[in-house]
Structure 1
Amino acid sequence: MNKEILQEANKLIKNELINQTNINSVKLFKTIDYSKRQPLTYEFCLILVLQGKKLGYLPNKSFEYNKDNYLVVPISLPFECETYASKEEPFICLAIDIDKKMMFDIISSLSNQEAKNCKTIQMGVFQDSVTPQIEDIVLRLLKTLKSKEESAILGESILKELYYRIATNSNSHFLHKMFLKQKQEAKISKSLKSIHDNFNQPLDIPTLAKQEDMSVSSFHTHFKNITSYSPLQYIKKIRLNKAKDFIEQKNMQVNNTAYAVGYESVSQFSKDFKKYFGYPPKEAKIAL
């Protein structure tokens, strides 16, 4: 990302951490503090790093996203993240919640089928290079965000142009396949949504597989290829991340939180929470 982009971003940043912009789906994030490896969950989003870098960790993969490589997460994915930042060089990024309908319309309209026809199973997160076209769009977006009127009138078209560049860049295979209903990636994506919508309900793998017209073995294999987790591991991580949000943001008691995210045993919940986050649930607010 060029210096002008960083200058425009700094004009919009008023606080450390999350800064909401004049477009609801677009946020700016800034921190001057190094953050050690810790769990988090990304929803369907695009992360464009303007300064600094992050390292993401999955069970069988690690990846860096920085000013030269943006990150696309086309599914809800829990992973661990390490942030490099300092007072001299804060970490600054643009986080965009991707509009699924808009992306679907773009991918459906593309005439180039090469990415769609990719045979290999793609993991549900990928990096791609920041091109000059993407830099140009990001700069125009940041300038537009300074005005409520311009954001309301021009914002959607600028985001659509950005999504087009993302959908036609080198590594967007998974993004294409996720929107093709007959593909296994699309079926797993649908199942992930079902898990997120029903995380507090009893969830069993045979039922989830049957809902997508897949055998249990095929469902398990494709699920792990795409998310890096087994279905049971994924469900547990989603529940624990939801629990952390409930405790920190809604001030819920530990017992109530355990039942609210689908646990039947409070002691098992506390054990799993401490193992995952490194501290017991009752200390969640302190750790924040």
Structure 2
Amino acid sequence: MLNLQALETFVTNAPQGVNETSIPNVQVFWSHKAMPRHLQAYLFGLVFILQGYKIGYLGARRFQYGAGQYLAVGFPMHFECETHLQNHTPLLGIFIQLEVSELSRLAAQMMSCKALSTGIVERSGVEPLSISAPIYEVLGRMLNVINQPKQGAVLGELYVRELCYHVLQEDNSAVLLSHLNRSTPQNRVAQTLEYMEQNLYRNPPVDELAQYAHMSIASFNRHFKQITGRSVVQYIKTMRLMRARHMLAVEGQSVKQVAELLGYGSAAQLSRDFKAYFGLPPKWAGQV
């Protein structure tokens, strides 16, 4: 069992959501509310749920991650998830954002020492994985310095590297390693996700995205669905509607303005798509 006392200060003094810690690239997140299925952005990294649990959805795939598991996110992406509380305690977890350059150096060093896993299997862009005893030990040390500015700044980075070492030793490390090799189909598809988000306003066609990834349309479609759990068309449609909801609820823009900015044919078309996806018309965007 991990000692969570070091994280109590975040629940007591920090706003719910994501908060920075004394360890670079390590964040604590917490929530006192359960949340129904919603779309959430995940960066390249590792997610540890220490209290409560989440259920993720990648297309038809459903997976749970909580105590005893961590989530490896091989590419920056969006997918739907639910947040669940247990025993009337808040959801509490740690997110470790990984840096490609640092992980690449570690993997190269491990490969030269023959310490890198050889049981690589093909995986999707997101995987819930079991926490091994060595990973638990490192997490414990990280919690001890997570609120100590000097120790966290110096020792924390070493602990993150040690944690990654244990992760890469396991056969399931493919979900992270695939991000390091830019020539793999999975990585080339993943690179289009950022391009896609930058061009949501014009709804980029599949053939353009496939060309950007230097792949045939058939190959691009196949690998895209393997990584995201959705077809290209479904993913873009969801992202545009989520962007529309943010613009309506947070930025306060009108339905007409949002429709124009996101390249919808009309405000009526945006309203129809919005209601079909969220179950409510755009005027209720803040409640979705």
TM-score normalised by L of structure 2: 0.86
Q: State the alpha-carbon separation in 2 of the partners of residues 249 and 132 from structure 1.
A: 43
- Deviation for aligned residue 1:16: 5.4
- Deviation for aligned residue 1:59: 2.0
1:197–1:142 CA distance, 2 compared to 1 (3 A) = farther
Structure 1's consecutive aligned runs of 4 or more residues displaced over 6 angstroms after TM superposition are: none
Q: What residue is the counterpart of 2:9 in the other structure?
A: 11
In the alignment of these two chains, the number of paired residues is: 282
Q: What residue is the counterpart of 1:139 in the other structure?
A: 140
Farther off after superposition, 253-262 or 52-61: 253-262
Counterpart AA for 2:243: K
Q: State the alpha-carbon separation in 2 of the partners of residues 19 and 41 from structure 1.
A: 12
1:16-53 alpha-carbon deviations (Å, 9 max, x no partner): 52141334633222223332223333232321010111
**Mapped pair 1:239 → 2:240:** yes
Structure-to-structure mapping, 1:30-179, within 5 angstroms: 30-86=30-86, 88-111=88-111, 112=116, 114-115=118-119, 118=121, 120=122, 122-179=123-180
- Deviation for aligned residue 1:63: 0.4
- Deviation for aligned residue 1:144: 1.8
Unaligned runs of 5+ in 1: none
For the Cα contact (< 8 Å) 1:206–1:216, is it kept in 2?
Answer: yes
Q: State the alpha-carbon separation in 2 of the partners of residues 190 and 128 from structure 1.
A: 24
For the Cα contact (< 8 Å) 2:18–2:27, is it kept in 1?
Answer: yes
1:129-186 alpha-carbon deviations (Å, 9 max, x no partner): 1122222222222222212233333332222222233333332213212321222111
1:218-241 alpha-carbon deviations (Å, 9 max, x no partner): 111111122111111111222222
Q: State the alpha-carbon separation in 1 of the partners of residues 82 and 225 from structure 2.
A: 23
Root-mean-square deviation (CA, aligned residues, Å) is 2.4
Helix, strand or coil at the partner of 1:126: strand
**Mapped pair 1:200 → 2:198:** no
Unaligned runs of 5+ in 2: none
**Mapped pair 1:253 → 2:254:** yes
1:137–1:258 CA distance, 2 compared to 1 (3 A) = farther
- Deviation for aligned residue 1:256: 2.6
1:286–1:230 CA distance, 2 compared to 1 (3 A) = closer
For the Cα contact (< 8 Å) 1:32–1:86, is it kept in 2?
Answer: no
Helix, strand or coil at the partner of 1:54: strand
Helix, strand or coil at the partner of 1:275: helix
